[in-house]
Amino acid sequence: MRPSDVKPREGEVRGTRFEEYIIHDPLPEMRFTLTPEVIREYAVSIDADPDRPFALPSVLCVYLMAVLYRKYPPAQGGIMAANEFEFHRTLPADVPTAIVANGRIEAKFEKRGRQYIQYSVTFRSEEDGSLIATAVNTSTFPNEQAKAA
């Protein structure tokens, strides 16, 4: 399953306005299967070795924004400000792994004329519920575009 299969894309629908983000709002559960093809394509895309027996754990980055965008579609022109990941479990590269992602809005704030959204995501194995990774992302979306949409 590719990220584009589960991710609303910029420009498809009206971007979420800053005032529409609700702090501590849970994000809908997202289930996806990480495939050997995506693991390999990710490695190639960041100049890494595509033939390792395990996935580079940051492959989950390509699914991260989808967790937010499925409830809060993005305005065009978004810029990432900060990101955190902690990895807990090895992902094999040769077999698919079914993953369940959950998240919530953690904060929203304004700084130097920009409006920031911060949200967290937890990735777990669908098979046994074990923790795979956690992430916290902070991004900003253009004020004028969101207001004009």
Instruction: Catalog residues that contact another protein under the rule CB under 8 A.
Output: 2-7, 9-12, 38, 41-42, 44-48, 54, 56-58, 61-62, 64-66, 74, 76-91, 142
Cα–Cα distance list, 95 to 32, 49, 57, 87, 131 (Å): 14, 17, 15, 19, 18
Q: How far is the CB of 12 from another protein (least distance, A)?
A: 8
Look-up of token digits 């949409």: 149
Q: Which is nearer to another protein, 77 or 96 (CB)?
A: 77
Q: Which is nearer to another protein, 36 or 77 (CB)?
A: 77
Burial class (CB in 10 A: 0-12, 13-18, 19+), 59: buried
Q: How far is the CB of 140 from another protein (least distance, A)?
A: 10
Q: How far is the CB of 6 from another protein (least distance, A)?
A: 8
Q: Which is nearer to another protein, 65 or 105 (CB)?
A: 65
Q: Which is nearer to another protein, 66 or 99 (CB)?
A: 66
Closest CA to 30 of 130, 100, 133: 100
d(CA 47, CA 29): 31
Count of CA atoms in the C-beta half-sphere (13 A) of 63? 29
Q: How far is the CB of 40 from another protein (least distance, A)?
A: 10
